[in-house]
Amino acid sequence: MTEADVGALIRDYGLLIIAPLALLEGPVVSVVTGYLAKAGLVPLQLAFVVLVVADLAGDVVLYWIGRRGRAGLALPWLGRFGVTRRRLAGALRTFRRNGGRLLVLGKLTHSAGFAVLLAAGMARMPVMRFLVLNTLATLPKTGLCLAFGWWFGAVTGRAGLGLIGAALLVLFCAVVFALFHLTSRSEKDT
């Protein structure tokens, strides 16, 4: 497969691939999408809309799981972050007092997003308030991630990297970021 073939595939099907990936992991996919937009492979404005909608859809699923009282489903995942039933109960009390602030901070920090979105549902935050605050946090976060990817595309373009080389570089950076994020979190837990 040549570089032109990869470019044509991304141009034709890029947003169809980006949407479900952004549902699972919005920020990293947003950075990669910004790079692809800079390369002219996906339209920037449409990509922004797709990324925001997919990110919000994933957040609504987590909110719904929390709201439906599926703490038993979520606790094994939350346990990886040191969340016990007792800590969760304390977090829910705090969330009921300062839910809006915690939701926005959790969305913007990314590392706490999973737990905060579940807590919003468990604390029975009103749906419209959740959607408005979550959208207000998602828009700038997605925009910044896209801008970073766009900038990265500009830098790699000046460095003379081809599409496949730059894609591998983006993948490498995403893996390094993920490893750094996981090790810093595990060091924080100990």
Q: What is the 3-state secondary structure (H, E, C) of the chain?
A: CCHHHHHHHHHHHHHHHHHHHHHHCHHHHHHHHHHHHHCCCCCHHHHHHHHHHHHHHHHHHHHHHHHCCCHHHHHHHHHCCCCCHHHHHHHHHHHHHHHHHHHHHHHHHCCCHHHHHHHHHHCCCCHHHHHHHHHHHHHHHHHHHHHHHHHHHHHHHHHCCCHHHHHHHHHHHHHHHHHHHHHHHHHHHC
Per the confidence metrics, is the pTM higher than 0.75?
no
Residue range 110-156, pLDDT digits in tens: 666 777 888 888 888 899 999 999 999 999 999 999 998 888 777 76
The pLDDT value given to residue 132: 94
The pLDDT value given to residue 111: 65
Closest by CA to 108, choosing from 65, 159, 144, 152, is 144
- Confirm if 133 and 101 have CB atoms less than 8 A apart: no
Instruction: Please give the average pLDDT of every successive group of 10 residues along the chain, which has 190 residues.
Output: 62 78 83 86 91 94 83 65 73 79 80 78 89 93 90 70 62 70 55
Q: How many domains does the chain have?
A: 1
The pLDDT value given to residue 131: 94
**Could you list the residue range(s) of the whole structural domain that residue 97 is in?**
3-189
CA 27 to chain centre: 4
The pLDDT value given to residue 61: 92
The pLDDT value given to residue 12: 72
